[in-house]
Amino acid sequence: MKVIDNIDVLKSELEKRRRVALVPTMGNIHEGHLSLVRQAKKYVDTVVCTVFVNKLQFNERADFLNYPRTIDDDLKKLEMNKTDIVFLPTGELMYPCEQEYFIEVPEYISKCLEGQFRGPFFSRVATVVMKFFFLIKPDIAVFGKKDFQQAFMIKKLCIQFSTQCTILLGETIRDFDGLALSSRNSHLSSSERAKANQMYRTLVNIKEKILKNNELEHFNLKFLSQLEDTGKDKLNNEGWECEYIKVINKDLFREPICPKTEWRQLIVLAAARLGGTRLIDNIEIV
């Protein structure tokens, strides 16, 4: 495994390679990231994993400074999973001067759900991802389904800009009790961790009700809204601060127009705070 922190060296190394896959990360590598590396290895000769904590996508400087950095452990895990190249750019390398140009993400993505709570997050992510696409020119890139809104945005980005990069989505990897693996989980106290799977259980409950009722007369937008409200109330009553639970059409990223005919395309997205830790998750109906 080659570890590279220089753009010229990276480009020189990639010239020797054939098909290349990109797995972008911010480090603090866990099994969710590693599953994306293994998925990428099935399709290409060379997997490039980036480890870069992108300061532009953090609303609060404290969150950027406190983001867990575990590079030595990260490199061991990536090498054990046969990553070919790890690109470790510094902030100065990625942003040699003040970044004045950003990709503008349409409001139906950037202003709803995650966009309501994370400011210019999607514009900043789109910008850094496009920088990596320009530098690495991957044939494929693999992103996790856990960050579904981000993954949807990046797929649309590649189509709009004709990047010639195929986006693959990896399944969410979960802990023994259903909690989606995330770097943020390390911020949970032991008592918070013990109840952190309540979000996933709430999503499973909504999925079961959709599967049970999708052919019945009352299966409409009002019914879905009631499921959302009940789920939010349940989490809030358990001590969470629920930001949203929303059922949408995953192919179009919008509220379903006719739930009875769209139920196979539905996904339930959720975000909530447990103590000081913000967690997100989702579940597809099919």
* Active-site residue list: 33
Element (H, E) at 84: none
> Which residues neighbour 270 within 8 Å (Cβ) at sequence distance 6 or greater?
199, 202, 203, 231, 242, 244, 245, 246, 280, 281, 282
Q: Is 232 left (phi over 0), alpha (psi -120 to 50) or beta?
A: alpha
**Closest to 55 (Cα-Cα) out of 94, 10, 97, 104:** 94
Three-class SS of residue 2? strand
**Closest to 202 (Cα-Cα) out of 273, 148, 283:** 283
**Which residue type does 118 have?**
R
Residue 12's CB is within 10 A of a number of other CB atoms, namely 11
**Closest to 22 (Cα-Cα) out of 1, 48, 52:** 48
Separation in Å, CA 159 to CA 152, 156, 163: 11, 5, 7
